[in-house]
Structure 1
Amino acid sequence: MQWTEMLLAVVSGFALTIMAMPIVIGFFRTKQLGQTTRDEGPKWHEVKTGTPTMGGIVFLVAAIISTIWVSIWQNVFSIGIVLTLFILILYGLLGFLDDFIKVFKKRNLGLTSKQKLIGQILGGVLFFGVSLYKNIPTELAFPFVGPVNIGWFYGLFIIFWLVGFSNAVNLTDGLDGLVAGTASIAYGAYAIIAWNQQQLDILIVCLTIIGGLIGFFFFNKKPAKIFMGDVGSLALGGGLAAISILLHQEWSLLLIGLVFVMETASVMIQVTSFKLRGKRVFKMSPIHHHFEMSGWSEWRVVLTFWSIGLLAAGACLLIIL
């Protein structure tokens, strides 16, 4: 696969997103539909109330369309692409239903956590089932040990990985441009790994998503004209987990997705500390809000987290490659 074909995959996702996003923003503004800021969130985020959301639909559809046509054109359409697109679509659909209920039905809670969890687990079960049917290895590489075939336990790992990282990216999506940047870096790292392994099918998926995210960022940078919503964040997290599995570099996501891990850990620490000690460790969680409450500007938090993500991804690539 030449550089021109790889560039085409990025440009395709970017162009479709750039063209469609103004239409979606215009629709939400005409209908006066927008996100309602949570009461427990930072008070200065109240100015964001009414901002259109569900922008993830655009870059998600753009990436899916681009992946299908570029992979068919390059003759690399595969079961790996099918599995990845399945997770992107299913998790995106769960996020869409959650956002739709919040925005159109005016119910702030959207889907219940139980409903989303059932859908996410179902996705993991089907992902594993197809993997077994297609004889995709059920080996998990352990540090200092190497690949170990763990059989059916690999299915439990897949479910945990998909559910965990889809929710981790969802938790991170709290500041303008934060996930657009950190997810682009993570997918960029996996694009390099896929290229090194000559898994051109996975490479195309990564590149089209990156193109879509770059296009989305132009509308999501501060002050955001639109948010990605759960439809975008849940799909992106599930997609990262799926790609790490298909590349058999599962543990790499702990480093490549370090920002998402930090955000999730901060919530777990905060909740555990409050329940056991009655005290909070952070001023607010997820941790990006802690830095906001400490006086950091939104841009400073976003750029710092991007830098952490870039350094962690670079370190991981050095280790793997």
Structure 2
Amino acid sequence: MRTVLIAAGTSLVLTLLATPLFIRVLVRQGYGQFIRDDGPTTHHTKRGTPTMGGAVIIAAVLVSYLFAHLVTLTPLTYSALLVLFLMTGLGAVGMLDDVTKIRNQRSLGLKAWQKLTGQSLVAITFAVLALQRPNEAGRTPASTAISFIRDIDLLDLAVTGAVGGTVLFIAWAYLLIAAASNGVNLTDGLDGLATGASLFVFGAYTLIGIWQSGQSCLTEVSTQCYEVRDPRDLAVVAAALLGACFGFLWWNASPAKIFMGDTGSLALGGAIAGLAITTRTELLLIILGGLFVIITASVIIQVAGFKLTGKRVFRMAPLQHHFELKGWNEVTIVIRFWIIAGLCVGAGLGVFYAEWVVGA
């Protein structure tokens, strides 16, 4: 538990103190956000606000994770390192996208195929490595079985054979990673919205990791124990992400002094997906990340509706911009969406705990 607390506290302090220093560097370099002219007119005042703040989040998480283990003299684990790899890899793709936007002074960064290639390489590498390195109990960080609160035997992709199961798992993991990273990316449209929503989810995964560690099959064999490879260390990663989001939110809340950019949104989305896969709570993520699901669905509905009828369902997608164009204040939208995110996380944790109580 000390490792969890140290990681959370260290990452909070690091982002709280390092972000203003990073803002000064970005201002000197002229790395400001480009704002689309077809969006809400209130966003024009944000033109030039420093972006790529996600780099501070990533650095703080990596440093705090290593520092917490150094202080407590506990070993690093394969599962946690994989999640950190996924976060950092997708963050690097996002940074390339952000730099391209700034250099070209437009809202579009990397070409679609370039961004997709980068995301695919990182996601597929993670998926392949997640099925390697079993521990003494024979458990790998991920499983070929699709999971809800634990693996669902009837949905084991390995039923098609070793090779076929691996290929199907890679496809499934890629879908989860793409959905989560793009979901956070779409949510990142208002000051503090994606940061605040993400910290709710990381808080949930901190609790889930701690609970799974206490009920691990390695220490207590029962019908309700959790077959997760490194649950306590996954809680350390989640706590580091939680603290980093809290510290960054101090500067990212309205009026934002810095934006996380694609560097942060892709990294946070990747971390969320990585935690879902390694804690065997893949389908539970639909509930925990309910706000991201709603916002992503609004884009899908908008595009499908326009193609089918030629009319827009919303004034603008993603959903938060629809309410902006209806005249809602930005802070009002953010707070209400945070409430929705909190309710979704509360519901997800309730389902997670209820499953254990019913089966106990």
The TM-score normalised by the length of structure 2 is 0.85
Gaps of 5+ in 1: none
* Structure 1 match to 2:145: 139
* Structure 2 match to 1:273: 305
Choose 1 or 2 for highest CA Rg: 2
Which of 206, 209, 218 is the equivalent residue of 2:238? 206
The residue matched to 2:146 in structure 1 has which SS?
strand
After TM superposition, give the deviation of residue 105 of structure 1 in Å: 4.4
After TM superposition, give the deviation of residue 50 of structure 1 in Å: 0.8
Give the superposed CA RMSD: 1.7
Aligned residue runs from structure 1 range 228-267, under 5 A: 228-267=260-299
After TM superposition, give the deviation of residue 26 of structure 1 in Å: 1.0
After TM superposition, give the deviation of residue 118 of structure 1 in Å: 1.4
After TM superposition, give the deviation of residue 29 of structure 1 in Å: 2.0
2:319 is aligned with 1:287: yes
* Structure 1 match to 2:226: none
The residue matched to 2:203 in structure 1 has which SS?
helix
Bigger drift between 246-255 and 118-127 goes to 118-127
CA change 1:143–1:28 in 2 (3 A) is closer
Is this contact kept in 2: 1:273–1:279, CA < 8 A?
A: yes
Deviant stretches of 4+, over 4 Å: 142-145
Aligned residue runs from structure 1 range 69-218, under 5 A: 69-74=67-72, 75-135=74-134, 136=140, 137-141=143-147, 146-147=152-153, 148-150=155-157, 151-152=165-166, 153-198=168-213, 199-218=231-250
- CA distance in 1 between counterparts of 2:236 and 2:352 reads 20
CA change 1:144–1:103 in 2 (3 A) is closer
Aligned residue type for 2:17:
M
- CA distance in 2 between counterparts of 1:320 and 1:122 reads 32
- CA distance in 1 between counterparts of 2:247 and 2:151 reads 42
After TM superposition, give the deviation of residue 122 of structure 1 in Å: 1.5
Is this contact kept in 2: 1:35–1:53, CA < 8 A?
A: yes
Is this contact kept in 1: 2:149–2:352, CA < 8 A?
A: no
| Deviation by residue 1:106-137 (Cα, 9 ceiling, x = unmatched) | 35421112211111121221112112222423
| Deviation by residue 1:64-98 (Cα, 9 ceiling, x = unmatched) | 11112213544141111111011011100000000
- CA distance in 2 between counterparts of 1:304 and 1:140 reads 32
Aligned residue type for 1:177:
G
Aligned residue type for 1:248:
R
Which of 297, 307, 317 is the equivalent residue of 2:349? 317
Between the two proteins, the alignment pairs up a number of residues equal to: 319
- CA distance in 2 between counterparts of 1:264 and 1:66 reads 31
- CA distance in 2 between counterparts of 1:297 and 1:240 reads 29
- CA distance in 1 between counterparts of 2:321 and 2:150 reads 37
- CA distance in 2 between counterparts of 1:124 and 1:59 reads 20
- CA distance in 2 between counterparts of 1:53 and 1:143 reads 36
After TM superposition, give the deviation of residue 102 of structure 1 in Å: 1.2
After TM superposition, give the deviation of residue 273 of structure 1 in Å: 0.8
Bigger drift between 282-291 and 146-155 goes to 146-155
After TM superposition, give the deviation of residue 139 of structure 1 in Å: 1.5
Aligned residue type for 1:182:
A
Bigger drift between 137-146 and 99-108 goes to 137-146
Is this contact kept in 2: 1:88–1:239, CA < 8 A?
A: yes
- CA distance in 2 between counterparts of 1:78 and 1:312 reads 30
- CA distance in 1 between counterparts of 2:87 and 2:149 reads 29
| Deviation by residue 1:196-227 (Cα, 9 ceiling, x = unmatched) | 00111111111111111111111111111110
- CA distance in 2 between counterparts of 1:164 and 1:30 reads 35
Gaps of 5+ in 2: 135-139, 158-164, 214-230, 354-360
The sequence identity of aligned pairs, in percent, is 40
Is this contact kept in 2: 1:138–1:149, CA < 8 A?
A: yes
- CA distance in 1 between counterparts of 2:300 and 2:27 reads 36
After TM superposition, give the deviation of residue 191 of structure 1 in Å: 0.8
After TM superposition, give the deviation of residue 254 of structure 1 in Å: 0.5
Bigger drift between 142-151 and 274-283 goes to 142-151
